[in-house]
Structure 1
């Protein structure tokens, strides 16, 4: 169980970094480690908050509640921290961030669930 939890948490964190990297690239911002870290830290914090709220280590690959709580927390906490640090939180960014992080954070869990069902059949 510990290995599955660690792998799921790492997958979530990588998904958030991928989201931030793609966002920086699409806006022609520098793809430096420092730049990605600056963009990612609010969302990574939100991901960790979501893991704590959902007790993600108990059901790390479940779509609900873990995946949904982690996704919502990633977006909400991430946007609140961006607002508090005077970073951009335009409505269009909130929409795009919500959609992309949903695909990433919920998508890998949906694929994992499908693979588990297929293996048990």
Structure 2
């Protein structure tokens, strides 16, 4: 992402985070044999998407979009905390096992792509 302008990098990183959240929700719906309709995925995704957006605002993600710290970790934590609070407020499931699975899955997704970028950048510095 470093070859892009800062604005384009931020937009690409935000899009990556939002896609990760939708992928998490889509896989979750599929694993529970729930319909993979656009409205069904949206119904499951919206609390977590709002959480990811809150994480972007709190961390000022546009400043260091691909950074694990503070952006990645803040977006991940906000995705889970805000997402679960919104689910609870709307009487959606927040079982402890779901919180654990959601936390681990979104960590892999939201932190994973950032870790890959960090490794690629580190490799370029050492080899380039």
Give the alignment's TM-score, normalised by structure 1. 0.99
Paired positions, count: 121
Instruction: Note the C-alpha offset of 1:111.
Output: 0.2
Q: How well do the aligned residues superpose, as a CA RMSD in angstroms?
A: 0.4
- Corresponding residue of 1:97: 102
- Residues of 1 paired with 2:12 and 2:73: CA distance? 17
Which residue number in structure 2 is paired with residue 30 of structure 1?
35
In structure 2, list runs of 5 or more residues that go unmatched: 1-5
**CA distance in 2: counterparts of 1:30 and 1:14, whole angstroms:** 19
Please show how residues 1-40 of structure 1 align to structure 2 within 5 Å: 1-40=6-45
Cα distance in 1 for partners of 2:123, 2:39 equals: 41
Q: How does 1:1-121 map to 2 (within 5 A)?
A: 1-121=6-126
Q: Structure 1 residue runs of 4+, over 2 Å off?
A: none
Which 5+ residue runs of structure 1 have no aligned equivalent?
none
Scaled by the length of structure 2, what TM-score is found? 0.94
